[in-house]
Chain A
Amino acid sequence: MKSIALAGNPNTGKTSLFNMLTKSYEYVGNWTGVTVEKKIGKLKSGDAELIDLPGIYSLNPLSKDEGISINYLMNESPSTIINIVDGSLLERNLNLTIQLLEYGKPLLIGLNMVDIAKSRGIRIDQKKLARLLGVPVVPIIARTGSGCDEILEQLGQSASSSTFQIDYGEIIEEAISEIDDRLDADLPYHHRWLAIQFLEGNHVVKDKLSAWIPEKDLNEMYNRTEKKIKDTGESHTLPSYIYKVRNERIKSIIGEAVYVESKSATNWTEKIDRVLLNRFLGIPLFLAVMYLVFQFTFDWLGSPISDQLDGFLSGPASDGLTWLLTFCGASSFIKSVVLEGIISGVGGVLVFVPQIFILFFFISWLEDSGYMARIALLMDRLMSSVGLNGKAFIPMIIGFGCNVPGIMAARTIEHPKERLLTILLSPLMSCSARLTVYALFAAAFFNSHQSLIVLSLYVLSIVTALLLAKLFSSTFLKHEDQSAFVIELPPYRVPQWRILLRSTWEKGKGFVRKAGTFIFGGSVVIWLLSYAGPSGFDVEMNQSFLAIIGNAIALLFDPIGFGNWQAGASLLTGFLAKEVVVSTMNIIYMTPDDTALQGVLGQYFTSLQAYSFMAFTLLYVPCLATVAVIKKETMSKKWTWFSIVYALVIAYVISLVIYQGGRLLGFH
């Protein structure tokens, strides 16, 4: 099958277009680095696959996600490249376009954000642009899908390879032909493109070239050419010289194809930033936004809906199921599995779907509006003081939804040690699965201050992460070299309902799916462990295997306030997924729904013990899926184990301080 690659600058709408051109759905947002891995989908017209590459400014990679694009171009051979160009930032975008043209494959330009350009008084003559670049230019609005049909139509026609060339001047052209002469004629690459990329300092291309030309010769050639350029006094380095020549050509293209009318439209983005980035109001406003999000998720909207759902599941739904099972003549064993195992375990988790979806809705809104990049900017001062980078705050906020995509988002951080630090600390962020535990305990013990108690846990997770960042970065993850922090601040836009709802569903469906598979299976196993014991089946709960396992570790939990076997067993099974803690408790305490469970919990926990338990659940260990992604992203067993062990230690220490400290202060 033909493969078509989608390439362009970060945040130009590649993924939006990808979603429009294929039947799949991928994650979109309004900040640099939403896509950190290439994604493959099938074209709507059915005859080719489309590959969505992470956004790049240039083919020369700086961070890990950028390396994916150049590696793709080096190792695979797309039949066509669609290059999305942001019409409002044409000069910068064309820098990549020219490198892609030099790659020598058929190219199609999707000219996006023409509306933003127009509002700034920039009019682009697309026919002229197409003629100057020698490739078709299709105006599109990726967010609404306008222009997609024409792209599909253009892709259907046979395209000829790009023949665009820039004369880089005598010195560079000489070096290009020197490389050309030493390469075999039948290589699957454009020699000229390889040579230019090499001279621009692209190390991926250099590694490839060293298979045919000894590295020593390459270095000699590079230094000799750079010296010649230096001697002319035009530039200090080869890359900056090539950039300059290319930029002159871009300027002349723009001079011919773009008309600028002096039009002073209101710059809303700057007006909004004047408030949101205000030196005194910036951080308080961010905290206020987060507080409102939690108010909606819990007190105002989420909890009332969850209560309704809980009432329905424990009332009509389970009554109906009981009737149905009796009607079918099910044995008492089957009845127990379904009613005490599955209904309690799965139902206990499903009840929190409204709250989780509301939280995801707001996270999607933050992502799509453009505020996310501002949060990174606001937080950079604080983050740099603990050895992190403002950009590390984005993985952390995404981690509030789920730690797995949060850890993946750390790929945009350029500095390797800062990236590792972000990966190690992201699991401390309180994800939506942990929310089920808070929602349960907060409603049972702190009914009048639910969102405040939950907010305090979120603050605890951030403060712990920052303190540990300081500790790690000033000991074994110390780095002397300068870190880089340059972040694009995209224009604000009003999020579209369609995109928000879709993105909320995409994030939340994993939770629902987990309830149907993982938690379903887990509930049956946990129920069986509670049903069976050394003396046979249908034993007293206290004599069951689950109680024996729970008792074995309960002693350890005594100093932190919950030395009962039920807590031990719940935490142990919670490693699978944190919401399993709630499922297990529902099964152990044999409660039909969460309201009843809240009542029972009061007999086993005091308020202080409950808070200590919530803090421990928050921190104690990344869930199974998170451990797997840490392993994948760090490619190191050592760091994976480290992430588990340090979390256990810190959770124990903090719960100990909360419980013992609380008792000294007279709480109970």
Chain B
Amino acid sequence: MTLSELEKGLQARIIDLSNISPLVRRRLLDLGILEGSIIRLIHRLPLRGAFALEVNHQEFGLRYAEAKRIEVEVV
């Protein structure tokens, strides 16, 4: 499944980041987020707005379009 389908409050492991744009991938890497990271969905803004997510106690925001390209599995 993709990150955009994750339910609020649930955790998932990132499996594949190769489909997102290199710029976003680099930024995620900066934040210490890569394949294997455990990610949790905190909020989802309406109308396919941004996502608020949490990895390793840090919150960050991401666009719906990017979340759709990130492959995850629920843990």
Residues of A within 8 A of B (CB): 57-58, 62, 88-89, 91-92, 95, 120, 236, 240, 243, 247, 269-270, 273-274, 277-280, 282, 373, 376-378, 380-381, 384, 390, 414-415, 481-491
On chain B, the residues within 8 Å of A88 by CB distance are 57
Contact for A282 among B45, B48, B58, B66, CB less than 8 A = B45
In chain B, residues 7-61, which have Cβ atoms closer than 8 Å to a Cβ of chain A? 18, 21, 23-24, 26-32, 34, 42-50, 52, 54, 56-61
* B62 close to chain A: CB less than 8 A: yes
On chain A, the residues within 8 Å of B34 by CB distance are 240, 243
Is A488 within 8 A of B29, CB to CB?
no
Is A277 within 8 A of B56, CB to CB?
no
A277→B61 CA distance, assembly (Å): 11
- Whether A280 contacts B46 in the complex (CB less than 8 A), given A89-B56, A92-B58, A485-B61, comes out as yes
Is B31 within 8 A of A488, CB to CB?
yes
On chain A, the residues within 8 Å of B26 by CB distance are 62
On chain A, the residues within 8 Å of B68 by CB distance are none
Is A273 within 8 A of B59, CB to CB?
yes
Closest Cβ–Cβ distance, residue B37 to chain A (whole Å): 11
On chain B, the residues within 8 Å of A380 by CB distance are 45, 49-50, 61, 63
Is B52 within 8 A of A486, CB to CB?
no
Is B45 within 8 A of A381, CB to CB?
yes
Is B29 within 8 A of A240, CB to CB?
yes
On chain A, the residues within 8 Å of B32 by CB distance are 89, 91-92, 95, 247
A26→B47 CA distance, assembly (Å): 39
Is B47 within 8 A of A381, CB to CB?
yes
Closest Cβ–Cβ distance, residue B54 to chain A (whole Å): 8
Closest Cβ–Cβ distance, residue B21 to chain A (whole Å): 4
Is A378 within 8 A of B45, CB to CB?
yes
Closest Cβ–Cβ distance, residue B59 to chain A (whole Å): 4
Contact for B60 among A277, A481, A487, A491, CB less than 8 A = A487
A390→B21 CA distance, assembly (Å): 17
On chain A, the residues within 8 Å of B44 by CB distance are 279
On chain B, the residues within 8 Å of A282 by CB distance are 45
Is A377 within 8 A of B58, CB to CB?
no
Closest Cβ–Cβ distance, residue A405 to chain B (whole Å): 23
List the 6 closest pairs (A to B, CB-CB), nearest first: A57-B30, A381-B49, A489-B59, A92-B32, A484-B23, A486-B27
Inter-chain pairs besides A91-B56, A381-B47, 14 sampled, C-beta below 8 Å: A62-B26, A89-B32, A120-B57, A269-B59, A270-B59, A277-B42, A373-B61, A378-B49, A380-B45, A414-B23, A485-B24, A486-B61, A487-B60, A488-B58
Is B52 within 8 A of A277, CB to CB?
yes
Residues of B within 8 A of A (CB): 18, 21, 23-24, 26-32, 34, 42-50, 52, 54, 56-63, 66
- Whether A482 contacts B58 in the complex (CB less than 8 A), given A95-B32, A381-B48, A489-B52, comes out as no
A91→B48 CA distance, assembly (Å): 31
Is A486 within 8 A of B21, CB to CB?
no
Is A377 within 8 A of B27, CB to CB?
no
Question: 15 A-B residue contacts at CB 8 Å?
Answer: A62-B23, A92-B32, A120-B57, A270-B59, A277-B42, A381-B45, A381-B46, A384-B63, A390-B50, A481-B21, A484-B23, A484-B27, A487-B60, A488-B59, A491-B59
Closest Cβ–Cβ distance, residue B53 to chain A (whole Å): 9
A279→B54 CA distance, assembly (Å): 17
A145→B62 CA distance, assembly (Å): 34
A240→B50 CA distance, assembly (Å): 26
A485→B58 CA distance, assembly (Å): 16
Is B28 within 8 A of A486, CB to CB?
yes
Is B24 within 8 A of A482, CB to CB?
yes
A414→B34 CA distance, assembly (Å): 20
A384→B50 CA distance, assembly (Å): 10
Is A390 within 8 A of B57, CB to CB?
no
On chain A, the residues within 8 Å of B31 by CB distance are 57, 92, 486, 488
Is A484 within 8 A of B57, CB to CB?
no
Is A488 within 8 A of B60, CB to CB?
yes
Is A486 within 8 A of B62, CB to CB?
yes
A263→B50 CA distance, assembly (Å): 30
Nearest residue in B to A370 (C-beta to C-beta)?
B59
On chain A, the residues within 8 Å of B18 by CB distance are 236
Closest Cβ–Cβ distance, residue A384 to chain B (whole Å): 7
On chain A, the residues within 8 Å of B43 by CB distance are 273-274, 277-279
Nearest residue in A to B64 (C-beta to C-beta)?
A381
A486→B20 CA distance, assembly (Å): 12
Nearest residue in A to B35 (C-beta to C-beta)?
A240
Nearest residue in B to A277 (C-beta to C-beta)?
B43
On chain B, the residues within 8 Å of A92 by CB distance are 30-32, 56, 58
A278→B47 CA distance, assembly (Å): 13
Nearest residue in B to A391 (C-beta to C-beta)?
B61
A325→B27 CA distance, assembly (Å): 65
- Whether A277 contacts B45 in the complex (CB less than 8 A), given A377-B50, A390-B61, comes out as yes
Is A58 within 8 A of B30, CB to CB?
yes
Closest Cβ–Cβ distance, residue A217 to chain B (whole Å): 25
On chain A, the residues within 8 Å of B27 by CB distance are 62, 414, 484, 486
Nearest residue in A to B69 (C-beta to C-beta)?
A482
A568→B64 CA distance, assembly (Å): 49
Contact for B29 among A243, A373, A485, CB less than 8 A = A243
A57→B28 CA distance, assembly (Å): 10
On chain A, the residues within 8 Å of B45 by CB distance are 277, 279, 282, 377-378, 380-381
Closest Cβ–Cβ distance, residue B1 to chain A (whole Å): 21
A62→B31 CA distance, assembly (Å): 13
Max count, chain A CB within 10 A of own CB: residue among B46, B47, B61, B66: B61
Nearest residue in B to A9 (C-beta to C-beta)?
B30
Max count, chain A CB within 10 A of own CB: residue among B42, B48, B59, B66: B59
Is B42 within 8 A of A273, CB to CB?
yes
A483→B23 CA distance, assembly (Å): 8
A91→B34 CA distance, assembly (Å): 13
Nearest residue in A to B17 (C-beta to C-beta)?
A240
